[in-house]
Chain A
Amino acid sequence: MTSANPSLAPLAPAAEPSAFAEISQETLALTRRLFLQLQRRPTTLVAGVLQPLIWLILFGALFANAPAGLLPGGGGYGQFLGAGVIVFTAFSAALNAGLPVMFDREFGFLNRLLVAPLRSRSSIVLASVLYITSLSLVQSLAIMVTAALLGYGWPSGAGLLLVLATLLLLVFAVTALSLGLAFALPGHIELIAVIFVANLPLLFASTALAPLSFMPTWLSWLASLNPLTFAIEPIRAAYGGPVGFSTVVLEAPYGQLSLGTCLAVLTLLALGLFVAIRPLLDRKLN
Chain B
Amino acid sequence: MAPLLEVNDLRTQIKLREGVVHAVDGVSFQLEPGETLGIVGESGCGKTMTALSIMNLLPTGGHIAGGSIKLNGQELTTLSDEQMRNIRGNEIGMIFQDPLTSLNPTMTVGKQIAEAVALHREVSREQAMDRAAEVLDLVGIPRVRERIKEYPHQFSGGMRQRVMIAMALACEPKLLIADEPTTALDVTIQKQILELIDDLRIRLGMSVILVTHDLGVIAGRADRVAVMYAGRISETTDTDTLFNRPRHPYTEALFQALPDKAADAGERLYSIPGLPPDLVNPPAGCRFAARCRYAVDRCRAEEPQLVSEVAGHEFRCFYPVGPSERTDTGRLATYNAAPAEAALAGPGIGDVLLDVSHLVKDYAVTKGAVLQRRVGWLSAVADVNFTIRSGETFGLVGESGCGKSTIGKLVVGLEKPTSGSISFEGKDLAKSSAREYRRERRNIQLMFQDSYASLDPRMRAGTLLREPLVIQRLGSKQEQLKKVAEMLDKVGLPRTAADRYPHEFSGGQRQRLGFARALMLQPELIVADEPVSALDVSIQAQVLNMMKELQHDLGLTYLFISHDLGVVRYLSDKIGVMYLGKLVEVGPAEEVYLRPAHPYTKGLLDSAPVADPGAEKAKVSEGVTGELPSAIHPPSGCRFRTRCPFAQAICADVEPPVQRFAGEGHLAACHFPLQTALGDAVTASAALPE
Do A and B bind? no
Give the interface of A toward B (CB within 8 A): none
